A and B are shown apart, each in its own frame.
Chain A
Amino acid sequence: MDMIVGIKDAVKLVSISIICACAVLVCTMFINYGTDLSSVKALLTTEKERIFYDAQTATARVVCLITGGCLLMTSVVTLLFYIKYYIDAHKKELGILKALGYGNGRIAASFWIFGSSVFTGAAAGYFGAHLLMPAMYRLQNKDAVLPEVSVRFHPLLFVWMVVLPTMFFSVLSVFYARLRLKVSALSLLRGEGAPEKGEAKHFGKNRAKKACGEGVLEQKAAAEMIRSGKHAASAKSGFISELKRATLWGKKSLLFFIVFSAFCFSAMTQMSFSMKELSSGMMGAMIMGIGLILAVTTLFLAVTTLVRGNAKTITMMRTFGYSQRECCNALLGVYRPAVYMGFAVGTVYQYGLLRLMVDIVFRNMEGMPAYHFHVPRMLVSLVCFLVLYEVMMYVYSEKMRRISIKEIMMEAE
């Protein structure tokens, strides 16, 4: 069984390791700081100290919640996306196992290994946080408003930050794999697998047509429906526009992930830019670094999946004589509007989130800076995104141009 889902496959989930490392790094630092800070609460005497204390604990809590929450969501989506594509790519091997008599549960159990990528990332983040903590504490103590807070080791934090996430992701992998494997062995062997919602709709329509076509009258009615309906309209438009439509709606999970990556890029970069003024410079720089790594990682994963997922179609089109430009326009360019929409939603989301944080969490605190939507920051983020997205698309389409048609056909066989 390990031959099907092995440690090598888990290693490919570097992106999840990176995301987890970032999440655990930030959360460990701030939870540790928040816990150590509470030990000086009894020593506070003045009103100024108490306000400053409240501001510090609230900031630590909000940073943990926002960063940790965002990163947890990103990790879950990335993991589910990867498992889905892993199963899609290994349908035949999984089908053989099922045909031999392995149950869904037994096959799915081997997917626990994907939790190991979470463990690697979380452990790296946890130890990284302990390396950075002394510097962070020194900076926090610099103001000398509160009594000096020293770094203490909290062993329970290791369980919360490393052990539990690893277990959670391992269990999630097994359950999701089990869900995706709920198709017959024959379907997997034929490469069908569990249809996505869009595909299911198509199949539903076809079944309806088949049912309609059982009698002569019904056949005529079905033919009329088809003639007057969608198919008649589509017959007028070219193959490329049909392909665009089918590509976009045929793989909804890929569409979601691409939009999600743009959303993450926008939210992460713009949140990072804002952190600098809402908290300390060090925290701002750290969050910005993490935000950029995450944004690039998610976008990279989305673009590579997009290109690889369409490699065979592009090859077949090139074989028949469609130009590389036509192929890229139809299969890669079709996601562009959705991607920009994801970016716009990410911008609105991060603005709303920070507005909420400033208006609700910090509403009773003095000295908090007012938060406004910063157009230049959004433009910087947009330009970075545009350049990154287009460069990645270009690099990958050029890379694909260099792969010989025969090479991809051999892979397909």
Chain B
Amino acid sequence: MITLENVTKAYGSGESRTQVLKGTSLSLEDHDFVVILGASGSGKSTLLHVMSGLEKPDTGTICYDGKDITGFSDDQLTQFRKEHIGFIFQQYYLLPNMTVDKNVKMGADLAGNADYAEMIEAVGLKEKRYKYPNQLSGGEQQRVSIARALAKKPDVLFLDEPTGALDEETGRSALDYICRLYEKYGYTIVMVTHNQNIAEMAHRVVIMNSGRISDIRMNETVKTAYEIGW
């Protein structure tokens, strides 16, 4: 269970100081599928970075199963991410000089997962295992980043605009892989997006507005990647 209480975060100083998060409180259950929705500049990506331990909040607390991570040092946060967190980004951030296999291995090694080939197969890239990122399409690169994130067997998977750089077809396909693997492995998903249609795939939708949560709604029926609009 992840609990955020009154979390604030600001960037810059003096006149250029911008308060991005203005006292955000949120509670997520294990195996939840949450989408954080909001316009550009609403603070949704910052919320994801703070929640995942990539950044420290200025004030407030973030607890994982009752353990407060806000007081963690950089090394402790690194260890925490190593043990619990997976990431998928809009820009993929694959290591360009390493093959698909090695990129996925980067995540797998952290969890001592020797069977990471299964993950490459699960995202449909078995045939491209020894290709380099620049030999793959955008959709394939995103699938590598999905495999890399899941190969480390995370408890919580954070996704920052995972379909932002993809066209409709590859975007739907990437989301479908994420959902199918979610059903199989049962981790918690926190996804940031500005695409309202994607929100229909989640159990819960958190709507951010000007650094605050303006609404939280539950989806009674959850749609698949191929049922939502685009």
Residues of A within 8 A of B (CB): 190-192, 199, 202-203, 206, 209, 213, 226, 231, 234-235, 238-240, 242-243, 246-247, 250-251, 312-313, 316-324, 401, 404-406, 409, 412-413
| B91, chain A: closest CB distance, angstroms | 6
How far apart sit A413 and B89, CA to CA, in the bound complex (Å)?
Answer: 11
Cross-interface CB contact of A202 among B54, B82, B101, B132, cutoff 8 Å: B132
Known A235-B101, A238-B109, A319-B54; further 20 A-B contacts with Cβ < 8 A = A191-B134, A192-B134, A199-B97, A203-B135, A209-B130, A226-B130, A231-B101, A231-B130, A234-B102, A250-B97, A312-B93, A318-B78, A320-B81, A321-B83, A321-B85, A322-B110, A324-B78, A404-B55, A405-B54, A405-B55
Task: Please report the total number of B residues contacting A with Cβ < 8 Å.
Answer: 36
In the complex, the answer to whether B95 meets A316 with C-beta atoms within 8 Å is yes
How far apart sit A203 and B106, CA to CA, in the bound complex (Å)?
Answer: 21
How far apart sit A205 and B197, CA to CA, in the bound complex (Å)?
Answer: 42
In the complex, the answer to whether A323 meets B78 with C-beta atoms within 8 Å is yes
Q: Beyond A320-B152, A409-B93, is A239–B132 a contact (Cβ under 8 Å)?
A: no
How far apart sit A203 and B101, CA to CA, in the bound complex (Å)?
Answer: 15
| B104, chain A: closest CB distance, angstroms | 9
How far apart sit A401 and B77, CA to CA, in the bound complex (Å)?
Answer: 13
How far apart sit A213 and B127, CA to CA, in the bound complex (Å)?
Answer: 9
| A220, chain B: closest CB distance, angstroms | 13
- Please name the residue on chain B nearest to A402 by beta carbon: B74
Cross-interface CB contact of B110 among A213, A320, A413, cutoff 8 Å: A320
| A308, chain B: closest CB distance, angstroms | 15
The reply to whether the CB of B98 lies closer than 8 angstroms to some CB of chain A is yes
Residues of chain A within 8 A (CB-CB) of B101 are 231, 235
Cross-interface CB contact of B87 among A250, A251, A320, cutoff 8 Å: A320
* B-side interface mostly: helix
* A-side interface mostly: helix
Residues of chain A within 8 A (CB-CB) of B131 are 206
How far apart sit A238 and B106, CA to CA, in the bound complex (Å)?
Answer: 9
Q: Which 6 residue pairs of A and B lie closest in terms of their CB atoms, listed nearest first? A: A321-B82, A250-B97, A239-B109, A321-B81, A239-B105, A246-B97
Q: A-B pairs with CB below 8 Å: how many? A: 89
Q: Beyond A209-B130, A231-B130, A242-B98, is A320–B107 a contact (Cβ under 8 Å)?
A: yes
- Please name the residue on chain A nearest to B87 by beta carbon: A319
- Please name the residue on chain A nearest to B82 by beta carbon: A321
How far apart sit A318 and B148, CA to CA, in the bound complex (Å)?
Answer: 14
| A327, chain B: closest CB distance, angstroms | 10
A-B contact pairs, 30 of them (CB 8 A): A191-B96, A202-B132, A206-B130, A206-B131, A206-B135, A209-B130, A239-B106, A243-B95, A243-B98, A243-B102, A246-B97, A319-B81, A319-B87, A319-B93, A320-B87, A320-B106, A320-B110, A320-B148, A321-B78, A321-B79, A321-B83, A321-B85, A321-B110, A322-B78, A322-B82, A322-B110, A404-B55, A405-B54, A406-B55, A412-B93
In the complex, the answer to whether B107 meets A412 with C-beta atoms within 8 Å is no
| B139, chain A: closest CB distance, angstroms | 15
How far apart sit A412 and B49, CA to CA, in the bound complex (Å)?
Answer: 16
- Please name the residue on chain B nearest to A251 by beta carbon: B97
The reply to whether the CB of B220 lies closer than 8 angstroms to some CB of chain A is no
How far apart sit A243 and B105, CA to CA, in the bound complex (Å)?
Answer: 10
Residues of chain B within 8 A (CB-CB) of A192 are 134
In the complex, the answer to whether B134 meets A190 with C-beta atoms within 8 Å is yes
- Please name the residue on chain A nearest to B75 by beta carbon: A323
| A5, chain B: closest CB distance, angstroms | 24
Residues of chain B within 8 A (CB-CB) of A404 are 55
Contacts of B83-137 to chain A: CB distance below 8 A: 83, 85, 87, 89, 91, 93, 95-98, 101-102, 105-110, 127, 130-132, 134-135
How far apart sit A137 and B106, CA to CA, in the bound complex (Å)?
Answer: 64
- Please name the residue on chain B nearest to A192 by beta carbon: B134
- Please name the residue on chain A nearest to B50 by beta carbon: A406
| A123, chain B: closest CB distance, angstroms | 40
How far apart sit A240 and B93, CA to CA, in the bound complex (Å)?
Answer: 17
- Please name the residue on chain B nearest to A405 by beta carbon: B54
Cross-interface CB contact of A206 among B55, B85, B132, cutoff 8 Å: B132
Residues of chain A within 8 A (CB-CB) of B106 are 239, 243, 317, 320
How far apart sit A247 and B106, CA to CA, in the bound complex (Å)?
Answer: 14
